[in-house]
Structure 1
Amino acid sequence: MVRSIYDILETLKDMETSLFSVAEIMWFSFGCLLVILLAKFTIAIWWKPLQITKHFQSQGITGPPYKILFGNTLEYAKLINEATSKPMKLSHDIVARVQPYYPYWSKIYGSTFLMWLGPIPTLVVGGSELAKKVLGDKKGNYRKPKWNPVMKELLGEGLVVLDGDKWAHHRQIINPSFHTDKLKDMVCCMVESTVNMLEKWEKVVKNGEKEVDVAQECKALTSDVIARTAFGSSYLQGKHIFHLLAQQMSLASQDNAKLIVPCYRFLPFKRNRERWRLNKEIKNALKELIIIREKAGTNTSQGYGNDLLGSMMKTIQELRSSESNEGLTIEEIIAECKTFFIAGQETTSNYLTFAIVLLAMHPDWQEQARSEVHVVCGNCHPKFETLNKLKTLGMILNEVIRLYPPAVGLMREVHKDTTLGGIAIPKGAQVLFPMLSLYHDTSLWGEDANEFKPERFSEGISKAAKYESTALIPFGYGLRSCVGQNYAMLETKVALVMILQRFSFVLSPGYVHAPTSFITMFPQHGAPIILHNLHSDESTV
C-alpha cells in the first residue's frame, strides 16, 4: 500500500516535470515566432525601404525622405488638405490645387522622383510618352495596383479593377455592348433624358429663378442616361440602384483618408455600418434584376434585352454555349453593373460639368459652338450621324478634357524587375504618372498651356502638342483604353448640343472655382450658372 502511494507521487512528479517542459517549449516556440514576425515586419517597414531608396539614389533618383510605416502619406494628405481648404482665382492653372504634391516635390527633386505611399515605393514619372509605353506593355511588366479595400468593396471584381487573363475575359464580354450599332441605339435614350432636364430648366427660367447647379444637374442627367442604357425596361429599378451606389460612393470618399488607420474599415462606426448596409442592398437588388433577365432570356422570345445588361448577358450565354464554356458568375455581373455606373456616370458627369463651366467662362467659344450647332443640327434633336460633323465642338471638348481630365493620375504596379526610360525599377514598386501636370506642362503645350485655347486641336489631337503625338490620352492607351470612351463622348455631345440649342449661360456670381479630385475631378463647391432661354417665345426643341 505504501509502495503504491510512493509510485503515484513519483508519477505525479514526472507529470509535473513533463508539463513544465511542454509549457517551456510552447513559450519558446511563441517567442521564436514573435521574433520571426518582428524581423519580417522590420524588414518590410525599414530595411527594404532603405535598400530601395539606395537603389534609386544610385541612379540619381531622390525624393521626400521615407518615414517608417507611413512613408510620405501624411505629408501627401497635408498638401491635399491645404490645397483644397480654400478656393482659387478664376483660372485654369489648377495643378497646384488638384495635384499639389507634384509641383511641390518636383521643384525640389526633379520631374521624376521617388515617394512612398506607406511602405510602397512609388516612382513619379513626368512624361506622357513613358505613360504610353507602360499602358501599351504586352509583356506583363506592369499591372493595375491593388485598390484600397473600401474602393474594392465599391467596385467589386469589375473591369476597372481586374488584370491579366481575367481582365481580358471580362473585356471580351463587355466590348460588344459598346459597338457602334449599340451606341447608335443609345442616342434616343440620351436625347430623352436631356429633354427632361431641359424642360425642368425652362420652368426654372420661367419662374424667374434662372440659376441651376450644373454639377448636380449633370449628375442627375448622366445617372438617368446610364439607368436607361444599362437597364432599359428595368429603368426605375436601375435608377434606385444607382442612387444607392451614389450614396455608397460618397461614404467611400469621406472615409478614404481614414484608411491609413489599421483595421478602420472593420470597426462598427456609423458610416461603416451604413456602407455595409448599402453594399448588401445594392447586391441583392442587382442579383434580383440579373435573375429576372436570365429567366426572360431563356424562356421568352424577347431575349435578354437591347440594353447594356442584356447585351452583356447575351454574350455570356453565347460563351457558355461555346466550347470555351466560360461566362461570368452573378457576382461578376454585379461588379460590371457597378462599373457601368461608377465609370460611366462619374466620368461623363464631371466632363460635361466642366465643359459647361468653361463655355460659361468663355462666351466667345460658346457662341462659336452654338453657331456650328445651328448650321449642322438646326433646331432638331442631334443624330448619331451628325455629331461627328461638329468640328468646333470637338475641339472644345478636347481642350476641356486636357485642362480638366476626369482622371488626374495614372498608376501601375511593376510585376517584375524592369527598366523604364533608363531607370531600373524593382518588382513591387509602383509607377505614377501625374497626367494633370503633364497636360498643363508648358514645355509640351506651350506657354499658353494654362489657357483655354481649343484652336490648338484644329489639326487633331496628334498635332496639338509640341513634340508628342499622343500627349493627350485621357481615356488611356492601347489594350487598356477605356471601353466606354465613345459612350462618354457621345453622351456629352448630345447634351451640349441640346443645351446650346435652347440656352445661353454665364457663371453665377456665387460660383466658387475649386476643382478637386476623388476617383475623378469635380467642382468641390458645385457649379452654379445663370440661364437665359434663347427661345422663350417658341416651342421647345
Structure 2
Amino acid sequence: MELWGSILLLQGTTLLVIVCSWVILDRVWRPWRLILFCRKQGIDGFPFVPLIGQLPQVSKVLENTDQGSALEWKALSIARECVHNHGKIFYFTTAGAVRICVADPGLIKEILQTNADSYSKPSFIHDLELLRTGIFASSGDLWAPQRQLLQLLFAPKVIKREMGGINQWCRAALRSWSQEIDSNSGGELPVHKKLAELTLSIIKKLGFGQEDGWGSDYQTSSNIAESFSSYLLNCRRLFFGYPAAVPGYRFLPTGLNKEIMKDETWLTKVIEDLIVARSKDYVATSSEDREHKDVLDILLTTEAISGQQVRDNGLTFLLAGHHTTASLLTWSMYMLALYPLWQERARAEVEEFCGDGEVEWNTLAQLKTLSMILSETLRLFPPIPLIGRRCVKENSVGPYVIPPGVEIMIPTAVIHRDKEFWGDDADQFQPMRFANGLGKASKHILAYLPFGSGPRSCIGQNLALAEARTVLATILPMYSWSLSPGYLHCPEVSLTLQPKFDLPIVMQRLRS
C-alpha cells in the first residue's frame, strides 16, 4: 500500500510540475520574450502583468452596459484613448496572448496586402468550432482553394440573377412587419431582431436554394439568429473574459462551456438538415436537371471539399453571412432615425427611380444618396469593428519586425474616425463625404476598412451592399420611422457590432 501511495504521489507531483512549467512557459516566459522584442523596436505598450495581462480591463470594457452618446460607445471611446496615449502601434496582453494594435493605414496595408501570406486568422476566430474549417476561419492551404471555388458565386452577374428572390423576401417581411405594427398601438418594432430574421431568410434562399421553412417547428429564423448571437457572446466571454485567465478552462464542464456546446450542437443540426435535404434532391434528380447553383450546390459537388468543410462553410454563409448584413441594416436605420432629413432625401430618391415596383439590379447604381448613407454608416458603425490576424511567419511591417506568435489587432472603428484622415468632422454623420466615391472620401484608402482589405477581404461584400440597398429601398416608400423613447444606445461587439438592447423603432405607415 505504501509503495502504491508513493507511486501515486510521485505521479501527481510530476503532473503538477509539468502543468506549472507549461503555465510559466505559456503565460509568463513566452509573452515576456515577445514584449521585449517589441520594446527593443520602440513599440510602446501596457505594463506586463504575468498570467492575466490586461484581461480584466478588456473584459470590463466588453461587458459594459453604460449608455453611450448617439454616435459613439464605451469600448470605442476607450480604444481611441489607448491609441491617443500609446500611438498608432502599441502592444497589450490578454492572458498569454501578446497583441499589437495597429491603427496606421500604411502599416495596415503591409499586413493585409503586401505580407498577407505571413498572417492567418487570429486564434480566437480559429477557435470558433462552428466555423473552424470554413472560408472565414481557416487559413493557408485550407483556405485558398475554398476562396477560389466560392468567389464566383458573389460576382455581380450572379447577384443580378438573384435580385428577384431578394425583392420577394423583402416584400414578405414587410407584410409581416405591417401586421405587427398595426397590432401595436405605438407602432414600435424591434428592428434589429426583424432584420436579422430577414437577412437569415434571404441567405438561406440564395445560399441553399430553400424557402419553405427550416425543416422543423423549432428551427425558425428567429431561434437560429438568437442562438448564433448567444453563441458568439459566450465565445467572447470565453476568449476575452475572466475564464481566459484559467489555462484549459474551455475544456472544463462549466456552465459557460455547456451553453456554448448546446448552441454548437443545435446550430450544427440546422445546417445538417439543410445538407440532408439537398442530398435528397440529388438522389431524385439527374445532374442535368438540377437547377441549384448556389453555395451548397458547389460544396457538395466538389470532391476536394471534405464533409466538415461543407458543414463549416454552410454555417459560415448562413450565420456569419446574415449577421454582418443585419448589422449594416440595423445601424443604417438607426442613422436615418437620427437624421430624418437624410431619411427624406433617400425616400425621394427611391420613389424617383423605383416607384412602386421592385428594386432592379440596374437601379441600384442610381441610388447614390442611399449608397452614401450606407457608406457613412459603415464608417461610423462598421459591422466588424476589429480585424484580427496572427503572425505565422516573421515579416517586416514598416520599420518593425513582427515575430511569429504575435496577434495583430486592427481597430477599424477607431481608424474610421481618425481626424488625420477624415477631417475635423470625423465624428459626425456626413454622407456627402462619399459623394465622389470611396477613393476620395479620406486621405488614405485604407482608412476605410468595413470589409477588410487584401486577399482576405469579405467575399460577400457585393451581396451585402446590394441586399442592404434593396431592403431599405423597399421600406422607405412604405414607412417613415424614428427612435423609440425607450431605446438605450449600447452597441456591443461579438463577431459583429450589434445593439445590446435591440433597436426599438417607431414605424409610421406612409402607404396602405
TM (normalized to structure 1)? 0.85
Q: Does 1:256 align with 2:236?
A: yes
Deviation at 1:413, TM superposition (A): 1.1
- Which residue type is aligned with residue 294 of structure 1? S
1:118-165 C-alpha deviation (Å, 9 max, x unpaired): 22211111112322321113562222122268x522323211110011
Q: Does 1:86 align with 2:66?
A: yes
- 1:215 match: secondary structure: helix
The answer as to whether partners of 1:214 and 1:526 remain within 8 angstroms in 2 is: yes
Cα separation, partners in 2 of 1:37 and 1:88, compared to 1, 3 Å: closer
Q: Which residue of 2 aligns with 1:164?
A: 140
Cα separation, partners in 2 of 1:379 and 1:342, compared to 1, 3 Å: same
The answer as to whether partners of 1:245 and 1:278 remain within 8 angstroms in 2 is: no
- Between the aligned partners of 1:505 and 1:178, the Cα distance in structure 2 is 32
TM (normalized to structure 2)? 0.89
Runs of 4+ more than 6 Å apart = 22-34
Deviation at 1:292, TM superposition (A): 4.1
1:510-525 alignment, distance < 5 Å = 510-525=486-501
Q: Which residue of 1 aligns with 2:507?
A: 531
Deviation at 1:304, TM superposition (A): 4.8
1:467-494 C-alpha deviation (Å, 9 max, x unpaired): 2133212111121111111111111011
Q: Which residue of 2 aligns with 1:126?
A: 103
Q: 1:141 aligns with which of 118, 132, 136?
A: 118
Q: Does 1:486 align with 2:466?
A: no
Deviation at 1:383, TM superposition (A): 0.9
1:242-301 C-alpha deviation (Å, 9 max, x unpaired): 634641441441353244144444444455445434433443453343244235336514
Larger-gyration structure (1/2)? 1
Q: Does 1:463 align with 2:453?
A: no
1:190-201 alignment, distance < 5 Å = 190-201=166-177
Q: Which residue of 2 aligns with 1:9?
A: none
Q: Does 1:424 align with 2:401?
A: yes
Q: Which residue of 1 aligns with 2:52?
A: 70
- Which residue type is aligned with residue 221 of structure 1? L
- Between the aligned partners of 2:215 and 2:131, the Cα distance in structure 1 is 16
Deviation at 1:442, TM superposition (A): 1.0
The answer as to whether partners of 1:461 and 1:470 remain within 8 angstroms in 2 is: no
1:363-512 alignment, distance < 5 Å = 363-465=340-442, 467-512=443-488
The answer as to whether partners of 1:294 and 1:304 remain within 8 angstroms in 2 is: no
The answer as to whether partners of 1:66 and 1:116 remain within 8 angstroms in 2 is: yes
- Between the aligned partners of 1:185 and 1:231, the Cα distance in structure 2 is 15
- 2:189 match: secondary structure: strand
Q: Which residue of 2 aligns with 1:4?
A: none
- Between the aligned partners of 1:123 and 1:423, the Cα distance in structure 2 is 11
- 1:525 match: secondary structure: coil
- Between the aligned partners of 2:316 and 2:447, the Cα distance in structure 1 is 27
Q: Which residue of 2 aligns with 1:283?
A: 268
- 2:445 match: secondary structure: coil
Q: Which residue of 2 aligns with 1:115?
A: 92
Q: Which residue of 1 aligns with 2:292?
A: 306
1:169-318 alignment, distance < 5 Å = 169-207=145-183, 208-233=185-210, 235-237=212-214, 240=219, 243-244=223-224, 246-254=226-234, 256-258=236-238, 259-260=243-244, 261-270=246-255, 272-297=257-282, 299-301=284-286, 303-306=289-292, 308-313=294-299, 317=301
The answer as to whether partners of 1:403 and 1:439 remain within 8 angstroms in 2 is: yes
Q: Percent identity?
A: 29
Aligned residues: 502
The answer as to whether partners of 2:191 and 2:503 remain within 8 angstroms in 1 is: yes
CA-atom RMSD in angstroms = 2.9
Cα separation, partners in 2 of 1:248 and 1:215, compared to 1, 3 Å: closer
